[in-house]
């Protein structure tokens, strides 16, 4: 359900030099786990001394993989991650430092953008139809054909790290391998590249929910829970996802490159769920149309809305165009969604207005005497 575009010139990737992963700011770090060490290897990060991955890291295909992953990540860090984190501090305020759980429907392989906008969230709840699979392990890596598997890792993340969205058909094709087998290996790669350490994994009933427990760069523990579900009406309620969201506090929702599915009637349950549990919705124009936000929501606009890309031209929102133009919004310093050029990108930040608290009834102490 994602579009294809012509690739940017490869020369755009050859920028700057490799930067090492961020280190903890004095906080105690978790001991290495097999989960973490295997993910670091697949992410192109050098194994520690004595690691079972040390010998495999001498393999020429891994050496090439590490160089290419460094280039991809440096491109993403320079053009997306750093500008987004600076922007969130300025424009999201307290929401950027909130620990409230984040919901991200139609996430696909993307575990990094929720971390970009909301790095302190206690829990990230991601959902899409892709299979979860299993994170990489020593046994699977040792027996894998690295010449074949490592390029698949890079190709699975290239669209996301260069242009901020993924192509569903390509993701499914590339993840159908012995090392990948689903989305979790890609989540593992993105988390360790963001300076996190993977601690453990929990598998839910029937494989519908998989949770990665990880330690952030600052030492705090976080949880990423992935639901492999159909988000369409009729399937969503039976998936267990709504019940899980009801069991945790409300918080921000991120919607990006969602194929405009929330514009139609087939995803009305998901629209209601998002509006009911969210304190903030950060989205591009493929998310919930602005006409569906009821009173009690404050909408802010960033970047000039240019309408959908040609593939989705029928989802143009005249009311969004008018409101954006009237708001004279500040430009975005990063790409977002299907608009991979930052000067063409736009987003909406919808914040729920706090409900007024009814005054407490008090008794005049003079009258009670």
The pLDDT of residue 253 is above 50: yes
> Residues 51-109: pLDDT tens digits?
889 999 999 999 999 999 999 999 999 999 999 999 999 999 999 999 999 999 999 99
> Residues 62-71: pLDDT tens digits?
999 999 999 9
Percent share of the chain, pLDDT over 70: 87
Q: At how many degrees (to 10) do helices 184-193 and 146-163 cross?
A: 70
Cα–Cα dist 23/14, whole Å: 24
The pLDDT of residue 9 is above 60: no
Q: What is the 3-state secondary structure (H, E, C) of 285-338?
A: CCCCCHHHCCCCEEEEEECCCCCCCHHHHHHCCHHHHHHHHHHCCCCCCCCECC
Does 294 fall in a domain? no
pLDDT confidence band for 213 (50 / 70 / 90): very high
Does 90 fall in a domain? yes
> Residues 295-341: pLDDT tens digits?
999 999 999 999 999 999 999 999 999 999 999 999 999 999 999 89
Tokens of 44: 């192109």
Does 7 fall in a domain? no
Does 348 fall in a domain? no
Q: Quick one: pLDDT at residue 29?
A: 55
Q: Kindly report the average pLDDT of the chain as a whole number.
A: 87
Cα–Cα dist 212/53, whole Å: 21
H helices within the chain, ranges in order?
34-42, 60-76, 82-91, 113-117, 138-143, 146-163, 168-174, 184-193, 241-246, 268-277, 318-327
Does 301 fall in a domain? no
Q: Quick one: pLDDT at residue 180?
A: 82
> Residues 254-303: pLDDT tens digits?
999 999 999 999 999 999 999 999 999 999 999 999 999 999 999 999 99
pLDDT confidence band for 168 (50 / 70 / 90): confident
The pLDDT of residue 354 is above 80: no
Quote the number of domains for the chain.
Answer: 1
- Write out the residue range of the structural domain in which residue 248 sits: 32-276
pLDDT confidence band for 134 (50 / 70 / 90): confident
Does 63 fall in a domain? yes
Does 331 fall in a domain? no
H helices within 92-234, ranges in order?
113-117, 138-143, 146-163, 168-174, 184-193
Evaluate the CA torsion angle 143, 146, 152, 156 in order and state its sign: positive
Does 22 fall in a domain? no
């Amino acid at each position: 359900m994602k579009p294809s575009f012509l690739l940017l010139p490869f020369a755009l990737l050859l920028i700057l030099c490799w930067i090492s992963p961020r280190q903890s700011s004095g906080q105690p770090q978790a001991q290495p786990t097999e989960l973490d060490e295997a993910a670091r290897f697949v992410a192109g990060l050098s194994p520690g001394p004595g690691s079972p991955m040390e010998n495999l890291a001498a393999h020429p295909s891994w050496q090439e993989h590490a160089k290419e992953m460094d280039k991809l990540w440096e491109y993403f860090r320079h053009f997306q991650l750093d500008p987004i984190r600076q922007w969130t501090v300025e424009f999201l305020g307290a929401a950027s430092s909130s620990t409230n759980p984040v919901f991200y429907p139609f996430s696909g392989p993307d575990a990094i953008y929720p971390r970009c906008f909301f790095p302190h969230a206690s829990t990230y709840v991601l959902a899409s139809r892709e299979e979860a699979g299993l994170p990489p392990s020593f046994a699977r890596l040792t027996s894998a054909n690295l010449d074949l598997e490592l390029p698949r890792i890079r190709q699975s993340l290239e669209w996301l790290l260069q242009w901020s969205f993924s192509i569903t058909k390509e993701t499914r094709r590339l993840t159908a391998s012995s090392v990948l087998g689903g989305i979790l290996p890609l989540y593992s790669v993105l988390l360790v590249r963001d300076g996190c350490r993977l601690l453990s994994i929990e598998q839910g009933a029937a494989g519908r929910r998989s949770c990665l427990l990880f330690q952030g760069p600052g030492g705090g523990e976080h949880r990423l829970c992935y639901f492999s579900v159909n988000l369409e009406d009729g399937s969503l309620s039976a998936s267990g996802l709504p019940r899980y969201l009801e069991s945790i506090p409300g918080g921000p929702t991120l919607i990006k490159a969602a194929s405009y599915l929330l514009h139609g009637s087939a995803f009305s349950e998901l629209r209601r769920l998002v509006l009911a549990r969210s304190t903030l919705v950060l989205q591009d124009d493929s998310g919930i149309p602005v006409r569906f936000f009821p009173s009690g929501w404050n909408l802010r606009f960033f970047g000039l809305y240019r309408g959908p890309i040609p593939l989705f031209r029928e989802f143009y929102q005249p009311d969004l165009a008018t409101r954006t133009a009237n708001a004279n919004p500040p430009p975005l310093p990063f790409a977002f969604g299907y608009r991979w050029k930052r000067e063409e990108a736009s987003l909406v930040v919808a914040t729920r207005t706090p409900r007024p608290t009814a005054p407490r009834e008090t008794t005049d102490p003079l009258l009670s005497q």
